[in-house]
Structure 1
Amino acid sequence: MLTAYELHEFNRQKDSIADSLLKQVHGNSNILLFKVLVNYLEKTNISGLRLDNLDESIFKDSKELKERFAQILEHMATIAAEETEHSPTYTTGQLAKFFGVSITTINNWINKGRFIGVERKERNKQARISANTKYKAPSGEIMFVKDVVEMYNEAENDGNLNNSNELEFLVTQLAMYEGKYGGEYDKTLGNKPFSGMTPEEQTDAAAWRYFLEQVENVNRSS
């Protein structure tokens, strides 16, 4: 699954990737590779690229060939990162609900790079963020957006959100983690370097911090 950050990194390096591939595949081989990619994109009808005007002359111009190759790679990466039933994308409004904050806060987090690899390209265009995007909490902990959505949905299915039992539910979750690690967050996982945690501890730390933030939001709104 291609994350938003991986898509961003791939597009940033696409020119060097195209150059490297063309240097590794010589002569007729790179011509065959290029033709296979072009014909695949045309026949699957998933590309918005205008490739039907290409002819054999492109193989005589190494600069144009490299530019076209990089363009094709970028488009393929974009398709790879598109929303599917397994990797939905969310609006800032939806994320505000899942994280329990305002839309303004979500936008601020985007601007500050809290959603890794996500950039607002157009000033007035609403961002859509993939479930596979990584979110970096103020504490440095990292979790996937889909994990936050899953926690929200589990709580909602239990009937614990948007009612008087919400705080009770959150306190119960915090008590579970405190029992598991033998103390409060700041004195246990919160006092341990994130890089030194096991994968299970990293996941628990991110979830634990999330519930702590939710308690703060509930207390502020009450």
Structure 2
Amino acid sequence: MSMAIQDILEVRERQATYASNIFSSLQLRENIITYQMLCDAVEASGIKIQRLSDDELLVPEKFRVGQQDIVYQLTQVQHSSQAVSSKVKHYPTREVARMLGVSHQTISRWIAQGRFDGVTRTEPGKHVDIPANSILEYPSGETVRISEVAESYQARMQTAVETESEDELQFIAQKLSAYEEKYGPIERFMHKSESGELVTSDEDIDLDVWTYLLKRKESLLG
């Protein structure tokens, strides 16, 4: 359960009390270890803090102030984590299914089985987005991060587009060669059209297609 704003304010006002409850050991070494663990937890959430040095940990007054400060910093972890989470890209389940090459029903089943780290469906049928940093554990035990799945999918799609463009360029080149063999250079053919020398509808259609293919080739080549 996340902390309410009034709870955070209370901790701030009563830092000394909460610090004394957390750092309650009579052994200095144990309190120092507790302090270092809390510092690690706060920094892991992305919050930068000013740790006490080894010498400062041995000064009672400075250590008390450090204890109170780290207790308050703990109340900021939730907000920092939410801010980081909001920056992470999320994918709809249908998009994840497409990237993984499985059905949408399979993704729903994996969510129900807890195979996506940190992803749960609170209500049956409720929409769920899967964050890019979530890790999927396949039934085989193999694991993969969704961001890696997305990168691989995008790479495959780019390759497919490039292959399709190459195939289309090859087709266009064959058609253009056939038109040139049949009619000669397009400039001459266009001149005949403008002067009214083209007498069949097929020739008019061929000129339209020829012109389109040249523009399409230019578009594909950038």
TM-score normalized with structure 1 length? 0.41
TM-score (norm 2): 0.41
Larger Rg: 2
Point out which structure has higher relative CO (alpha carbons under 8 A, 6+ apart). Answer: 1
The structure carrying a bigger helix percent of its residues is 2
